[in-house]
Amino acid sequence: MKKILFILIATLGLSQLAEAAPGDTTWVGANNVQLSGYGSYDSTIVIPHPAGISYRRIYMVFTLGKYMCGGTGYCGDWDYTVQNYLVKPDGATFELGRLITPYASAGAPRTPWTWTQRYVYDVTDYVAKLQDTCLIRIFYSGYSGGFTGNIRFAFVEGIPDRNVLDIKRMWGGSFAYGDTTRLDSNNINVHFPAISETAPAGTQTADMKFTVTGHGADNNYCSEFCSHDYKVKVNGAPVATRTIWRDDCGSNELGPQSGTWIYDRGNWCPGAIVYSHHNILTGVTGGTAFNTSIEFDAYAGSGSASYTTEGTLIYYGGMNKTVDATLEDIIAPTNDENYYRENPVCANPVIHVRNTGATTLTSIDIEYGIQGYPVATYTWTGSLAALAETDITLPELDDLHTIAGTTALKTFTAKILTVNGAADADSTNDKRQSQFLPAPFFPPKFTISFKSNNEPVSVGSSISESSWTLYDMNNVEIISRKNVNLSTLYNDTINLAPGCYKLVLADSSCNGLHWWANDASVTSGSFFVRKTTGININLKGYTYGGTFGHDFGCSYTAYFYTSWPLGVNELTQTSVGMGVYPNPAQNSINVYLEGLATINGVIKIYDALGRLVIENACTEVNTAVNTAALANGVYTVQFNDATAPAEKMQSRIIIAK
């Protein structure tokens, strides 16, 4: 599976990934392949490195996609490990990045056949190795086809934060953990012996970059579903202890998925990038002779537990800039799929900033706004040490209100103006742009229809683990439904003043209102936001009716803007409406009526042949109707007003059990 691929070199701006002016970024294309099965997918490229040119940043952009692989087996539907390697002509090998593919059934709402996801890695530390002829390898651990892999590198000219004096691969591979039945497998530490080193002249700091993910399942569910530690040692003494665990899978930006994506795991989540640990080797400077090693917890299990590892030693010189801030990213507003849960917003932009100078930052002046609208300014104050980073929430931007509910793509720009009251040392890293779609517009009056499932907050409790809360943009709670009863329907009518709001639907065990793996014991809940006419308001493409395709994991956040109408309707023009949900339905439906001064009538359900199959009295805004006796099919639901027999409202539903 080796081929020589064409080289794509383009001097184009990098928009979200780099801030340099046009002409300062060189793109180099590498792998572009279908991952048809387990193994290595290699491409040989030639990377130019003109004399006298330095690179401020080098990014590797790995784009995962899908293709229709056919056959009778699974096709791109599972969580497989993907490792991206740089292999030099002399055989020196470096892992540049790792990710885990998602559960990516084409039937899930986020992963249709046209789906792609970008994973961006900062590989600046490998600058001395990313030169001349290189082999770029995608190692794919999947046993089925269906995914595609595309790698491109962006070389951004400029002064790096600090120079890399040397970089060495120390250890790497997948090793059994705690299995007493195979050779030395019970002692994984034999694969990470102490290695003696002498730091090159000029070394200010040394890092042990260690990437580790847990896989396999023994009698204790290790190493995928158990948590263990490892220590980084210098001269036999621990300098860092790390826990091999990822506890935020239910908040994955790529969700919902079609499998067990919400379960926390051994330092990875399905569909997410794998983060490396950067461990400072305390006391190592230029000329220091030392040895370093890795030590895992002692453990004995029974089965196929293992850890996939990569250890890289990096020697750094001093900081190249004294006072410098980098605007790393725009978190909101943006259409970037890696910030799906944070968008779209209607009030406060959020940016990510890093201190790339030697001096602690205490203030940053920032200019920001939407293209075509006036700009705003803000001064952040705080204390940000060298190489530290932080998210900055900017003050409310009124123009995000103005465009709410529109559908045209917009451009947001943020720029660092001054740092610590003076000019920034490096202006090429001060600006970012993002494209985004505006937040939705909600009417000032609407209804939230929320049905809890039967999963309690704790064993034996009668309180549901699910809730919803409405906040204003000062994060002040407006109204909520918390500590609700199990399997209970709540309808709340909301009246809001003009402004931007945040609606949060949450689940304390991170399995949403419905989780397919619990079908045998947990009944589905539902969550609908409706206009007063009963029509559902679109929540980022979903209505949460209790199927895996509408799951949200730990939480779902919807930002929206609302204002009062510009005119006042005559009373005789008051709108009247009827809503029926869920649809499709199984054993019951709810009929919701709005706009009637008095509700007194009859709900009738007719089958596809026009036969009356159910008739219920209706005197409430929301009426539950038992449909357990109905066969699968299409039905008409009709409301007949007793005070005006000629007036009828009707809707169609599907019964699908």
User: Where does the pLDDT of residue 13 fall: very low under 50, low under 70, confident under 90, or very high at 90 and above?
Assistant: very low
pLDDT above 70: residue 483: yes
CB 244 within 8 A of CB 277: no
3-state SS assignment for residue 225: coil
Least confident range from 9-18, 580-589, 626-635: namely 9-18
Secondary structure in 3-state letters for 501-546? EEEEEEECCCCCCCCHHHCCCCCCCEEEEEECCCCECCECCECECC
Average pLDDT over residues 32-61: 93
pLDDT in tens, 299-340: 988 888 999 999 999 999 999 999 999 999 999 999 999 999
Instruction: Tell me what pLDDT residue 655 has.
Output: 87
Measured distance CA(222)–CA(297) in Å, rounded: 13
Helix%, strand%, coil% for the chain, nearest 5: 5, 50, 45
**Angle, CA 547 vertex, CA 543 and CA 551 arms, to 5°:** 70
Total-model pTM: 0.83
Instruction: Tell me what pLDDT residue 168 has.
Output: 98
- Please tell me which residue, 504 or 24, carries the higher pLDDT value: 504
Average pLDDT over residues 553-561: 92
Instruction: Tell me what pLDDT residue 590 has.
Output: 75
* C-alpha distance across the termini of the chain, in Å: 47
Measured distance CA(119)–CA(60) in Å, rounded: 8
User: Where does the pLDDT of residue 612 fall: very low under 50, low under 70, confident under 90, or very high at 90 and above?
Assistant: very high
User: Where does the pLDDT of residue 598 fall: very low under 50, low under 70, confident under 90, or very high at 90 and above?
Assistant: confident
Least confident range from 15-19, 51-55, 450-454: namely 15-19
Average pLDDT over residues 451-475: 91
Instruction: Tell me what pLDDT residue 514 has.
Output: 80
Measured distance CA(354)–CA(532) in Å, rounded: 46
Average pLDDT over residues 96-116: 92
Residues 6+ apart with CB under 8 A from 267: 212, 213, 214, 244, 245, 246, 274, 275
Least confident range from 5-9, 97-101, 431-435: namely 5-9
Instruction: Tell me what pLDDT residue 183 has.
Output: 54
pLDDT in tens, 194-238: 999 999 999 999 999 999 999 999 889 999 999 999 999 999 999
Domains in the chain with CATH codes: 2-319 (2.60.120.230), 326-436 (2.60.40.10), 445-562 (2.60.60), 575-655 (2.60.40.2550)
pLDDT in tens, 354-386: 999 999 999 999 999 999 999 999 999 999 999
Q: For the chain, what percent of residues have pLDDT higher than 90?
A: 65
- Please tell me which residue, 641 or 99, carries the higher pLDDT value: 99
Mean pLDDT rounded to a whole number for the chain: 88
pLDDT in tens, 123-168: 999 999 999 999 999 999 998 899 999 999 999 999 999 999 999 9
Strands of the sheet with 81-87, listed across from one edge: 2-4, 39-47, 132-140, 81-87, 93-100
Instruction: Tell me what pLDDT residue 515 has.
Output: 80
User: Where does the pLDDT of residue 467 fall: very low under 50, low under 70, confident under 90, or very high at 90 and above?
Assistant: very high
